[in-house]
Amino acid sequence: MDVSSFDPTYECALRLDRQDELSSFRDDFYIPEGTIYLDGNSLGLLSKRAEQSLLEMLESWKKLGIEGWTQGRYPWFDLSERLGEMSAPLIGASPEEVIVTGSTTVNLHQAVATFYQPRGGRTKILADELAFPTDIYVLQSQIKWKGYDPETHLVKVKSRDGRFIEEEDVVAAMTDEIALIVLPSVLYRSGQILDMKRLTEEAHRREILIGFDCCHSIGAIPHALSEWGVDFAVWCNYKYLNAGPGGVAGLYVHRRHFDRTPGLTGWFGSRKDQQFDMAHTLTLAEHAGAYQLGTPHILSAAPLIGSLEMFAEAGIDRVRRKSLQLTHYLIFLIERELIGYGFMIGSPLEYHRRGGHVYLEHPEAARICKALKANGVIPDFRAPNGIRFAPVALYTTFEEIWKCVQILKEIMETGLYKQYENTRDVVA
């Protein structure tokens, strides 16, 4: 990526926008008026295509009633499988290995219930101390269900600096007591990408199963989960994939595990041709669809149709290329414009280690975020002292990045942030 042409002028931002090969996609999105929206790693914006696919699904319900399960443009009965097929290129898997279902937390429960099988001396789960809380709650719960104590059977890799996890430390923790490893693909605070390929190879060399929470990587970076041999992965679709609040999540299972019985079972995991036999003997689907539980949330899945169609056009490699340009440009401006204001960049500076957002640390982060919002910039606060900026390749402009940094500089120069309490809102 050529960043040698970056300079701190407004004209540079405009020139970068003129060169942007994805600029036309911005017109597909509803950008909140008067805002610079940089919170796409928490909730992506609504696109016209996602809106249209939702409206089409409502129309199907209105006109077809129950016949919508098998008729209409998007029949509901196999919608989860069709969305899995559309998602597969983004996760680097075959269509049969991906299903759109449940939520991240439910899918992680499903995966851990399936793949955490303590035997002999292998009774522990390995995670990391910077993991998103829901992952830890799931692991603690699953360990209890298996009759063990999370205090002793959940091993968390320590961070050396409170920002990053070193792969060497993860590998060192892969002892012969570990039965399963669950890690984030991208750390939700710092945006660090973990080397999934290397960690999978190291885990399998020790006969340990490994899965990843890809919530902060899906739609932002390319994956090759099947090629890398990752055993399973889970993710949400409402961040970079812009599927809407509470949008149905995703689950990947490597095909070598298709003969496993899922730890949790429900009737939508049936073979499609036998599901309505209503037998009390479950005949599982012979692919990732077996990991479904109950009836899919059709209206919550519908916006993802339009979103994934857009990603198919844009291409994840082009999305990644622009995402890196945007985050590097943001870091470039921060380093030049915000010197002396107490900010520290808490994201990796190396391209290959940085996901889709930039993490700034400041002792007054909560009140700075409030001041930014009051001035039209929508960031994301993460306790205790973090500000996340997520420029999204499909709708964020370089001009917006430039303006964001100028607004932040003015807030610091004038002390405007001091008008606000340094405490988080209920929803941060």
Residues with active-site annotation: 132, 213, 238-239, 388
267 is in an annotated binding site: yes
CA end-to-end distance (rounded Å), the chain: 33
Q: Which two tokens stand for residue 33?
A: 């008026």
216 is in an annotated binding site: yes
Taking the C-alpha atoms of residue 345 and residue 87, their distance in angstroms, rounded to an integer, is: 32
The neighbour count for residue 90, using CB atoms within 10 Å, is 26
H or E segment to which residue 403 belongs: helix 398-414
Taking the C-alpha atoms of residue 392 and residue 242, their distance in angstroms, rounded to an integer, is: 10
DSSP string computed for 89-108: HHHT--GGGEEE-S-HHHHH
Taking the C-alpha atoms of residue 163 and residue 156, their distance in angstroms, rounded to an integer, is: 14
133 is in an annotated binding site: yes
Question: What are residue 36's phi and psi, to 5 degrees?
Answer: -110, 105
114 is in an annotated binding site: no
Taking the C-alpha atoms of residue 396 and residue 413, their distance in angstroms, rounded to an integer, is: 25
DSSP 221: S
152 is in an annotated binding site: no
Tally of residues, the chain: 428
Residue with tokens 């097929």, as numbered in its chain:
85
135 is in an annotated binding site: yes
Residue 103 contacts residue 213 (beta carbons within 8 Å): no
Taking the C-alpha atoms of residue 92 and residue 315, their distance in angstroms, rounded to an integer, is: 13
In order of 71, 105, 342, the CA distances from 289 in angstroms are 20, 17, 50
Where does 173-285 have alpha helices with state H?
A: 196-205, 225-228
145 is in an annotated binding site: no
295 is in an annotated binding site: yes
Binding residue ranges for pyridoxal 5'-phosphate:
104-105, 132-135, 213, 216, 238, 267, 295
Binding site listing: 104-105, 132-135, 213, 216, 238, 267, 295
